[in-house]
Amino acid sequence: MTNSLGIINEVKTDRKAIAFTFDDGPNPLYTKQLLEIFQQVSGKATFFMIGEQMEKHPEVVAEVFEQNHEIGNHTFTHPGLTKLSEEECYLELEKTEKLITQLTGKQPVLFRPPYIDYNEETKKIVERFQYKTIGALNGDALDWEQPGVQFIVEKSKGHIRNGSILIFHDGFGDRSQSIEAVRLLVAELVEEGYQLVTVSELLEMSYA
């Protein structure tokens, strides 16, 4: 399901599968905790990483990649892209693409705009990279504002269905509430028979 700008918030599928996504890492504390959570249930996730953070923690990038999670482009410095010139916007994506490729040997195919700040001009630049632009359904969980673990869990549960894409954060500040909420959601969803997959895997399950 895409919006008018082509942002994909969920995937039409009859498979009982969901994609967890994480923004603003990598972070040596929180990203590693997430890797443990997903490892325990043999699940996969997608990490939309910031170039600046990747430069600081290349070992965490390597660990995410080695555990077969997906890494997407989330720009180099996390700016509001619609406020940049065309050239500045292009460079934000290009620098991070090069870094992901350099650190993993694999080119990213997914992009998430910081703050979901996106317009027709930004879309044209993103299309030059042939990325799929990924949003999420549970923006109302506001995990980046640390509204409380139960709040994040309950709001996110309201968006659970086949093909849901969920957003959480593993970078910028204290992310302990997000991690705890994910821990609870993952346990519950696996119990309910959901498969936890990368966004690219979810897109392959689409019937539309």
Positions marked catalytic:
23, 169
R_g over Cα of the chain: 16
Q: Residue 5 is encoded by which pair of tokens?
A: 């700008």
Q: Which residue in this structure is represented by tokens 């990038």?
A: 61
Interaxial angle between packed helices 176-191 and 149-157, expressed in degrees from 0 to 180 and rounded to the nearest 10: 40
Angle formed at CA 14 by CA 187 and CA 153, multiple of 5 degrees: 30
Report the alpha-carbon distance of residue 56 to residue 62 in Å, rounded. Answer: 12
